[in-house]
Amino acid sequence: MVRNKRIWLVFMVIVTITAAVLLAFTQRQQAYSIKLGRLKYNGGGDWYSSRTALKNLATFCNSNINTSIDPNEGTAEIGSEDIFNYSYLFMTGHGNVVFSESEASNLREYLKSGGFLHICDNYGMDKFVRKEMKKVFPESDFVELPFTHPIYHQAFQFNSGLPKVHEHDGKAPKGYGIIIDGRLVCFYDYECDLGNGWEDAEVYNDPIEVRAKALQMGANMVKYIFNN
């Protein structure tokens, strides 16, 4: 009888602890107010690269700029209505990018409606993405943002513009933007590779200070998006 009671008590303790853990997890999941989205595009480029980037950016932002971002990223195909579920879309890769006319139109509507696209050249995207973004905004070009632009001066100060994460062709990092009706709708980091800087430390073994700068710049971008 005593043995059965002990077994019952142990069982009840396990059930109680499990319920508490599940409740805490559920409440934490419900507490997130924002989810970052990854843009899935056609053309054969590896849109899925920098797999741990958004998770780490979300975690860093939650710890440093008081955001409530779900570390689990979302994915949205460029031609779908799903892109409208995200205030921020991350587009990266190394290779070819192709937008159909309907996809370009959908992305244009998203950006004009208040959405924001961050393009991160993981290396090799430049000639493709410039061509395809002309389908989205035929009358607009990428312009290099001055170092005084607010995106560089949010929670963290980048008085010389983007940090250099990976060498690529050894050129200086550049931050380009597309501005529509006075609003920055697309930010393009070139020769910088912010997304790689956000990855888990063991992926590239980048120095701590390099990863820190990349994450800080990412946090600036997030803060800028949700404050403007």
Q: What is the CATH number of the domain that holds 132?
A: 3.40.50.12140
* Residue 140 and residue 180 in contact, taking contact as beta carbons nearer than 8 Å: yes
How many Cβ atoms are within 10 Å of 35's Cβ, its own excluded? 17
Residues 109 and 212 in one domain: yes
24 lies in the same domain as 46: no
Do 16 and 83 belong to one domain?
no
pLDDT digits (tens, 9 = 90+) for 21-41: 344 444 444 478 899 999 999
Do 61 and 146 reside in the same domain of the chain? yes
- What is the rounded average pLDDT for all residues in the chain? 89
pLDDT band at 228 (very low <50, low <70, confident <90, very high): confident
**Together in a domain, 132 and 161:** yes
- The b-or-e profile of 67-80 (16+ CB within 10 A means b, else e) is bebbbebeebebbe
Confidence check: pLDDT of 61 > 90: yes
Q: Name the least confident of 28-37, 78-87, 166-175, 205-214.
A: 28-37
Mean pLDDT calculated for residue range 1-21: 44
Please tell me the least confidently modeled range out of 12-16, 63-67, 76-80, 220-224: 12-16
The residues facing 118 across adjacent strands are 90, 187
Contact 83, 106 (CB under 8 A): yes
Distances from the Cα of 115 to the Cα of 11, 51, 107, angstroms: 50, 22, 9
Residues 6+ apart with CB under 8 A from 19: none
Contact present, 178 and 184 (Cβ < 8 Å): yes
Note down the domain range covering 15.
1-31
Higher pLDDT, 155 or 4: 155
Query: What is the percent of the chain with per-residue pLDDT over 90, rounded to a whole number?
Result: 81
- Give the percent of the chain with pLDDT over 70: 87
Residue 62 and residue 36: Cα distance in Å, rounded? 13
Can you give the pLDDT at residue 58?
Answer: 98
C-beta of residue 52 within 8 angstroms of C-beta of residue 196: no
Whether 116 and 211 share a structural domain: yes
Residues 103, 50, single domain; the answer is: yes
Phi-psi region of 29 (alpha: psi -120 to 50; beta: other; left: phi over 0): alpha
Are 124 and 149 in the same domain?
A: yes
27/81 same-domain check? no
Q: How many domains does the chain have?
A: 2
Based on the fold, state whether residues 7 and 43 are members of the same structural domain. Answer: no
How far apart (Å, rounded) are the C-alpha atoms in residues 182 and 155? Answer: 22
State the pTM of this model. 0.86
Residues 25 and 42 in one domain: no
Does residue 16 sit in the same domain as residue 107?
Answer: no
Question: What is the rounded distance in angstroms from the CA atom of residue 32 to the CA atom of residue 19?
Answer: 21
